């Protein structure tokens, strides 16, 4: 069985990038899915390109930019909460199914993440979203890439075993 590719330097850098732990929105989203309205997050959690944003707020306004930052903080909290839930599930599966079975499953997931990384990185390289004229999409693309890198490193290095 061939070895998995190692996380890239960029993935490792994104894995180590600090999360907005001083944000109340981050803390609320991390605590429980019942604290904040998470109904509009689905499209931002999917692989880009994103479904067009229907926000009618002036995309160059401070209100729009603040909402985008809040969206990022919430999504960081949601993703970390979901990662912790998944870690608990993986530890339980490890006890139930055994190490080899779980690691084989994770191998497929990690390989899929590397494929996604290449697809999404191409969007970045091609300048798919303009940082000024499509600021929310550009920001959410950067967020998606950060979590793709974080999750890839997390699973590749078996950090789900850390409690």
Taking only the tens place, the pLDDT of each residue in 24-58 is 999 999 999 999 989 889 999 999 999 988 899 99
Peptide bond preceding 49: is omega within 30 degrees of 0, i.e. cis? yes
The answer to whether residue 135 sits within a structural domain is yes
110 belongs to a structural domain: yes
pLDDT over 80 at 1, yes or no: no
- Tens of pLDDT, residue by residue over 106-151, are 999 999 999 999 999 999 999 999 999 999 999 999 999 999 999 9
Q: What secondary structure does DSSP assign to 16-35, as a single string?
A: HSPP-TT-HHHHHHHH-TTS
Residue 50: inside a domain:
yes
- pTM for the complete prediction? 0.93
What pLDDT band is residue 2 in, cutting at 50, 70 and 90? low
Tally of structural domains, the chain: 1
- Residue 2, in any domain of the structure: no
Residue 121 in domain: yes
Q: Would you call 136 exposed, middle or buried from its count of C-beta atoms within 10 A (0-12, 13-18, 19+)?
A: buried
Within a domain: residue 141?
Answer: yes
CA–CA gap between residue 136 and residue 114 (Å, rounded) = 25
Residue 1 resides in a domain: no
Residue 3 placed within a domain: no
- Supply the range of the domain harboring residue 53: 9-161
């Amino acid at each position: 069985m061939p070895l998995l590719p190692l996380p890239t330097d960029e993935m490792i850098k994104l894995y180590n990038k600090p999360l907005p732990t001083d944000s109340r929105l981050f803390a609320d989203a991390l605590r429980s899915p019942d604290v904040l309205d998470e109904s509009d997050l689905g499209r931002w959690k999917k692989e880009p390109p994103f479904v067009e944003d229907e926000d009618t707020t002036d995309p160059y306004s401070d209100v729009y930019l603040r909402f985008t930052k809040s969206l990022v903080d919430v999504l960081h909290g949601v993703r970390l909460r979901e990662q912790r839930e998944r870690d608990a599930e993986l530890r339980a599966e490890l006890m139930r199914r055994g190490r080899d079975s779980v690691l084989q499953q994770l191998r497929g997931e990690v390989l899929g993440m590397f494929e996604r990384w290449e697809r999404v990185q191409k969007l970045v390289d091609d300048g798919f979203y303009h940082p000024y004229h499509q600021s929310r999409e550009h920001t959410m693309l950067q967020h998606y890439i950060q979590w793709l890198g974080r999750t890839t490193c997390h699973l590749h290095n078996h950090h789900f075993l850390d409690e």
